[in-house]
């Protein structure tokens, strides 16, 4: 680890604070607003709750874990399914329950340690499920990119998507410095300008919007009845299997970046509780579930500025942006093919990160056990298998594949042992989730 410019508890100057906080805001901005855009939620709520969730996370982890929490891509398909089944309120109830699962897991980890989590969620299970998340959304991304508002193929719309995709890829590969940290945001901006030039952008709502406006909150009891059904539970809660593993991976990587074992202190139970609390706060206000962001971990690694005050500053700015009506209206004016072009890359990266987990973890597919687990997960998840118990209770796609993967890992013989010191094992293998 290189010597930090600002360590975790160091306070920046005012000028550094604003600049560095804005950098973190830009790093998470594109991905955080993309999720609510795809699932039909208010982007301003996503910004507001990402800020509130991050502050809650920092507080729960005793200001010792420099992380930013943004919208989780893993819940895109489940939220869409839950909204179809019971409206936006059902999706919020499911999100809250998923966050509650985090709290339960955190409590168990505090009492029993964390090795049992890794026994349930080894890379041979989590890697293929992550691949399912990415590839399961491929059709959505391509449809957004190719089709016009009428649902039919449009070369003009597809050209906007391709320009957006090209700009994002070029920025990812060739950009240096600040631009290399925000390729998604750069791609959206370039695609937006091109869409504006070809007449696909409607700015009328931006002109009408006020500078300061209340976000479109979605509150339990006030805006929707709170009814917990088995269908909502099975659509949303199993996704926590994947996001918990993602969280652990991020904490391991972050530990390497800052040179401290964050799994031990302040403890994995605290960071998981912080993540779950952020998701529950978001659900109560009408936002998507939250997760720690790899983009912001990348910013920490590159800048060597680990100060939690910088992350808190980014959270405060995000909260303020949530009340700026012009910003919300501008986000709402982004044409669908622009988001489609970005999604082609982002959803592909999600799938590729699953492959990377398998490679980095040295999963041996010469072993029949591993081959069976991965194969069954992929076909059930991508094939869209559905287990219908009754008309009102069914387990679909990704959730079913995750559950089946966990069960196969538990029952098939030859399960590998988990090392006593997980952090040191991951560190020695240079494992990056």
Q: What is the pLDDT of residues 17-47, one digit of tens each?
A: 988 898 788 878 878 888 998 898 999 999 9
Pairing mode, if any, of strands 393-396 and 290-292?
unpaired
CB contact at 8 A, 337 and 158: yes
Percentage above 70 pLDDT, the chain = 94
Give the helix, strand, coil percentages of the chain, each rounded to 5.
70, 5, 25
CB contact at 8 A, 43 and 332: yes
**Would you state the structure tokens that stand for residue 44, as one six-digit string?**
């301003």
The residue count of the chain comes to 433
pLDDT tens for 370-393 read 999 999 999 999 998 888 876 666
CB contact at 8 A, 109 and 266: no
pLDDT value for 426? 46
pLDDT value for 231? 85
DSSP secondary structure code for residue 69 in this structure: E
Q: How confident is the model at residue 113 (pLDDT cuts 50, 70, 90)?
A: confident
User: Is the model's pLDDT at 427 over the cut of 50?
Assistant: no
Which residues neighbour 217 within 8 Å (Cβ) at sequence distance 6 or greater?
45, 223, 285, 286
CB contact at 8 A, 225 and 408: no
pLDDT value for 272? 96
pLDDT value for 419? 53
pLDDT value for 15? 83
Torsion angle of C-alpha atoms 161, 242, 246, 70, degrees rounded to 10 = 50
CB contact at 8 A, 115 and 422: yes
State the chain's mean pLDDT as an integer: 87
User: Is the model's pLDDT at 395 over the cut of 80?
Assistant: no
The region of weakest confidence among 220-229, 273-282, 298-307 is 298-307
User: Is the model's pLDDT at 433 over the cut of 50?
Assistant: no
State pTM to two decimals: 0.81
Phi/psi for 394 (5° steps) reads: -150, 150
pLDDT value for 422? 46
User: Is the model's pLDDT at 396 over the cut of 60?
Assistant: yes
pLDDT value for 2? 62
Q: How confident is the model at residue 181 (pLDDT cuts 50, 70, 90)?
A: low
């Amino acid at each position: 680890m290189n010597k930090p410019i600002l360590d975790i508890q160091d306070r920046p100057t005012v000028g550094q604070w604003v600049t560095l906080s804005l950098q973190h805001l830009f790093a998470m901005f594109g991905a955080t607003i993309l999720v609510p855009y795809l699932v039909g939620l208010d982007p301003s709520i996503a910004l507001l709750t990402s800020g509130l969730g991050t502050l809650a996370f920092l507080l729960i982890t005793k200001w010792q874990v420099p992380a930013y929490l943004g919208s989780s891509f893993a819940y895109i398909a489940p939220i869409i399914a839950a909204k179809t089944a019971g409206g936006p309120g059902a999706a919020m109830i499911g999100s809250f329950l998923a966050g509650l699962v985090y709290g339960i897991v955190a409590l168990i980890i505090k009492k029993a340690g964390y090795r049992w989590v890794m026994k349930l969620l080894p890379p041979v299970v989590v890697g293929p499920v992550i691949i399912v998340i990415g590839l399961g959304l491929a059709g959505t991304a391509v449809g957004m990119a190719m089709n016009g508002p009428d649902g039919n193929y449009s070369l003009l719309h597809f050209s906007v998507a391709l320009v957006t995709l090209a700009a994002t890829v070029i920025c990812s590969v060739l950009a240096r410095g600040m631009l290399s940290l925000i390729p998604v945001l750069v791609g959206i901006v370039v695609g937006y300008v091109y869409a504006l030039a070809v007449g696909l952008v409607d700015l009328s709502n931006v002109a009408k919007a006020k500078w300061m406006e209340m976000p479109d909150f979605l509150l339990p009891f006030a805006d929707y009845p709170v009814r917990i059904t088995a269908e909502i539970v099975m659509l949303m809660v199993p996704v926590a299997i994947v996001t918990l593993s993602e969280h652990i991976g991020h904490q391991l990587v972050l530990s390497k970046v800052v040179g401290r074992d964050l799994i031990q202190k302040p403890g994995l139970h605290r960071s998981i509780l912080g993540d779950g609390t952020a998701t529950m706060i978001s659900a109560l206000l009408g936002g998507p579930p939250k997760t720690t962001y790899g983009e912001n971990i990348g910013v920490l690694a590159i800048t060597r500025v680990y100060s939690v005050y910088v992350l808190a500053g980014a959270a405060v700015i995000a909260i303020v942006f949530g009340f700026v009506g012009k910003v919300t209206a501008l986000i709402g004016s982004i044409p669908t093919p622009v988001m489609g072009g970005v999604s082609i890359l982002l959803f592909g990266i999600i799938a590729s990160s699953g492959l990377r987990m398998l490679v980095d973890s040295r999963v041996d597919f010469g072993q029949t056990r591993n081959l069976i687990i991965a194969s069954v997960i992929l076909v059930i998840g991508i094939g869209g298998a559905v287990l219908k118990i009754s008309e009102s209770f069914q387990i679909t796609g990704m959730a079913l594949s995750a559950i089946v993967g966990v069960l196969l890992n538990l029952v098939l013989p030859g399960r590998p042992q988990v090392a006593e010191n997980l952090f040191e094992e991951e560190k020695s293998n240079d494992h990056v989730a």
